[in-house]
Structure 1
């Protein structure tokens, strides 16, 4: 079998009505994304979400549950991503943690601020994940085995 999806995680972190996003450079363009990345060998999905969030935002978080799982084929490269999206709350800001090299900065945005910047989103999954969360699509971590 030659085709294999890439396993990724994303974390939606809420604090007082604002959500944590990252501005990153992809294909020479500044885009907005949730803290997200690839599952590494030996990691659980939750561990990957915790690691990626810290590496990309300098925030240590507590994963509270799952928003959903889906597939997305990126039009830019034709790669299919199997994405697990989590929701979390911030625990501590860790300024000693260096940001990943392609991350420009972490930013807190309200849902309306994100919607107003929809042309800057890395993929439609960024806003879709937020909208699902706002509609109450939240599942316990026990769903994952």
Structure 2
């Protein structure tokens, strides 16, 4: 039997700041109710930017326009009886339009909430991962990379590389 190929889980997250407050989601997780940036997994066929826009809309009902890459992060979570899970997270910052009033949020999302960095620092036990505050701190420190820092290439049906 051929051994299973190991691969990290690729995720995206969005940082949206307005008047010193950050758009966050409260979501049900296996560890209980947690705070996170709008975030989720990269789907097959998507670019990272498309995933960030989609996840933000699905989790907050706010259309998101990415403006810069804040950072790329790797986290490994140990799991009893397994090799654990490794996540590669690409966090973007940008603008969000007003929420679409009739759009339903993802089922695990309880609500959206705007919080200051100080409010977030005061409740680390409620963060989904340590990356929640790390990404905010990097954003506040001015970390910004141009959107074209990450290149997306795909191979067309005739084998020709196509840049997206």
TM category, shorter: over 0.9
Q: Do residues 85 (structure 1) and 85 (structure 2) align?
A: no
For 1:98, which of 98, 104, 124 is the aligned residue? 104
Q: Does 1:114 align with 2:114?
A: no
- The residue number in structure 2 matching 1:19 is 22
1:1-145 aligned at under 5 Å gives the runs 2-76=5-79, 78-145=84-151
Structure 1 distance, partners of 2:65, 2:140, is 19
CA distance in 2, matches of 1:50, 1:76: 30
CA contact (8 A) 1:11 1:34 kept: yes
TM-score (norm 1): 0.95
List 4+ stretches of structure 1 deviating above 3 A. none
Q: CA deviation at 1:97?
A: 1.3
CA RMSD of aligned residues (A): 1.3
* TM-superposition CA deviations, 1:65-115 (whole Å, max 9, x none): 100112111235721011100001112211221100000001000100111
Task: Name the structure, 1 or 2, with higher relative contact order (CA <8 Å, separation 6+).
Answer: 1
Q: Indicate the structure (1 or 2) with the bigger Cα radius of gyration.
A: 2
Q: Hey, what's the Cα distance between the residues in 1 that align with 2:49 and 2:79?
A: 27
Structure 2 residues not aligned, in runs of 5+: 152-164
**Pairs aligned (count):** 145
Greater shift in the superposed pair: 18-27 or 76-85: 76-85
Q: Which runs of 5+ in 1 are unaligned?
A: none
